[in-house]
Amino acid sequence: MNITDINNQLNNKAIEDRIVDMCNMFPEKVVFTTSFGMEDQVITDIIFKHNFPVKVITLDTGRMFEETYKVFSRTRERYGKNIDVYYPDTKAVEKLMTTKGPFSFYESVENRKECCNIRKVEPLKRALKGHKCWITGIRREQSEERRHMQEIEWDETNNLYKMSPLYKWTLDDVEKYIKDNNVPYNTLYDKGFVSIGCAPCTRAVQPGDDFRAGRWWWEHNEAKECGLHIKE
């Protein structure tokens, strides 16, 4: 089935119905990756409340905020469900830390991308292996690059369909869902964080700042991505 056919089938359906349709198209081959951000918590709530047959995984880079681990723990307690954890390759991290130290990513974009590749991209490839559909929490208003993505597209890099069911949602939509459904969320959002990644690479932003302004703030380019959602 091609992208056009899938989009036509899912068009104007509720998020729950779209996820069910993808699960029916690809039984036991649908995976959702969460970083415990607000958008991801919305999708987690939908998947777990309805017991959808979707594998939920997270990438633990080893550099996460304490608050991120706390929402991870609260989420497990709330739904009584396991979330599979993928870590970076130990030898790759050991080599990076030994040869370049703990903060090499501040020194250049190349070093930062190297760290992201080791801690995020390679573990993601292992997590997605064997699956046919990858669900993400991407929204189009998060960045200029994401504005040009599609709600459902073919991910050539990982050789699967990529579905972003909240793609057209606004931040207000996300926050309203979290509040109305009492969904656990990362308390860093209450302190001015809007896009939360690794602790050394994320900071709070001022009202009105770009959504990604707090990520890799020492870099001056606009294309601030770690490599998980970049088309090759």
Q: Which residues are known catalytic residues?
A: 226
- Residue 84 three-state SS: strand
Host H or E run for residue 135: strand 133-135
Give the pairing type, strands 160-163 and 152-155: antiparallel
- Both tokens of residue 55? 């594998």
C-alpha angle 58/60/66, rounded to 5°? 110
The residue behind tokens 């899912």 is 10
CA 140 to chain centre: 13
Across the beta sheet with 160-163, what order do the strands follow? Answer: 84-86, 55-59, 30-33, 133-135, 160-163, 152-155
- Both tokens of residue 46? 């939908």
Separation of alpha carbons 229 and 19, rounded Å = 20
Host H or E run for residue 21: helix 15-25
